[in-house]
Each structure stands twice: as C-alpha cells, then as structure tokens.
Structure 1
Amino acid sequence: MAHIFAFWESRAFYDSFMARSHDRLASAQSGTFKDAQVKLFEYRFDVKTGFEPRFTDADLIRVALCRIHEERVEHFTLMQEKVWNPAMAGSPGMIRGMFAEAPEQEFLILSMWRSAAEHGKYRTERVERLALRAQTEADVAALSGDIVDMETSWTV
C-alpha cells in the first residue's frame, strides 16, 4: 500500500490541474495501481507549528481519517485545538502536522514524526488519557488511519 499526499497552493490551482492535466496523466498511469482512493480535504489549522508540505525531515507520518457525528463536529474540532494539538506539539519527536476537513463530517489529522520510536512514546504514554479528556469516543462515528514509513526517494 502506498499513501500519496498532494498539497495545493489554492483551490483554483487544484481545479485548473483537474480540468487541464489530470486525465492525460491518469491515462499514462493506467495499470500501475489498483483500488485508488482519493479524498480532497480543506486545511483548517496547524498541529504544532506552521505546516509546510516538506517531508525530508520526517521518518514517519501518522494519518488519521475520522468521520464525526454531525452534532459533535464543533466539539471534535475544539478538542483537536485544545486537547490533542497541544499534546502532540509537546511531544519532542513530533515535527509538525495539520488538521483538515472534507464534506460529510470527515476530518484528516496528519502528523510528522522524527522516528517510529518517538511516535511510540507519545502513543503509549498519552492516547488513552487524552481520548477520555477529549470525549473522542462520543465524537467519532468511524476512524481509520495508518502509520506511514517515509520512502525518501518518493518525495518531490
């Protein structure tokens, strides 16, 4: 499985690419992959410091996709800002990340880490306590995600 993240300067640039170049590039890649899933998220805020789509200093990426109960979206977003974000920002191995939103109450939390060991320290020491404090179980209708080991030769 491969995860490909693309970041666009603006929605206008994305729309222009989709209208002018996407089909030509996609047809050239025909047969090189199967079961592609594509989702478009709108940036909401940083996790830790100013997010930039630079992956050369990260060895691991944690991506979480969350579908939130409609009546809990405001609470979920607030808890990301007030509970989860400060906790991740305080973890020495966490470099930077972002929180983004898609239609249908779906959210992406992407965090970049120096190493799997650093991410492991954060996970084992804090996640259960933070989830209780943030009432995450009441907010989340569905959760999926992955730990992505960086393949530096794939970064552009």
Structure 2
Amino acid sequence: MPDIDPLTTVWSDDEVAVMHAMRDWAVTFDELQRHLSSWIGLPGSDANALGQIVWADQAGEPLSPAQLARRIGMTSGATSVLLDRLEGAGHVTRHRESADRRRVTLRPTESARAESGRFLAFSGAEIAATVRDTDPEETRVVLAFLRRMTDAAASANGRLQAR
C-alpha cells in the first residue's frame, strides 16, 4: 500500500477534476442502470445482476453465482433468491458446463439478450459515438489509467473486506 494520506495530500486542480469526472461518470452510469431496470421491468438489484450476467456472457466469461454475488455486493443466499426470480421470469438459466458438475454458470436467455440489446441500441448511441470518435492514442492512455484506477479500487476493496 502506498504511503499517501488522501486527506492531507495537496491535490492539483487537474487531479481534483479527474476525481470529480470519475464520480460524475459513476453517478451517470448508475442512472443508466436504473433506466435499464425500468426498461426491463425489474427491481434495480435484479437488473444490475442481469446486466452483469449479460456482459460476462458476451465477454465469453460466464459468471458463477458466487462471482455474481461478489460483483453485486450481495450474500450468496440473497443472490440465490435473486437468481430464482430471474430464472422464473425467463431471463437467466443455470448451466453445468464444466467437468466439475458442481460448478454452475449463469447464462442470459435469448429474450434477455435481445431486450438488453434493444436497451443498449436505444441508450448507447452517444457513448458509442464518443468512444469511436476518440483518438486511438488517447483511448490507450485512458484505458491504461482506468485499469490502474480499477486495480487501486480493487486493492482498497480487498483491504476493506479483510478488515
């Protein structure tokens, strides 16, 4: 852990602006999540979980229930109840795809994929255009910075979890 006290460090105007911009992105992204919830007709926690399941599936890295629980900040029991609701509503299926039949993976149904796609097509145009219009070198710099920030936040989360 670096020896820096975020409360007593003197920050430059640009460093403060970066932190504010990241906060603004997080708040705005959270609002998009709430719109997804309304769009799909699910409670916020269910829509968040479904989004995580869809994104992981699209990345070719389907989640287990335990991984989902960590991502959405719920206990395994609460996540199991949530998954029962999503499965009952026809949004998610549980699969045993591994040689280890105890390992369960979560997959969105075709209808959930399609509805998520419709939402993204409607809501994501400005974000997609911004990403496409960004200079490739700027994209690489931003990506490297965001990866470091994600690693730093994950480290802090691990330290807090161990506390």
Query: TM-score if structure 2 supplies the norm length?
Result: 0.23
Which structure is higher in strand share? 1
Which structure is higher in helix share? 2
Greater C-alpha radius of gyration: 2
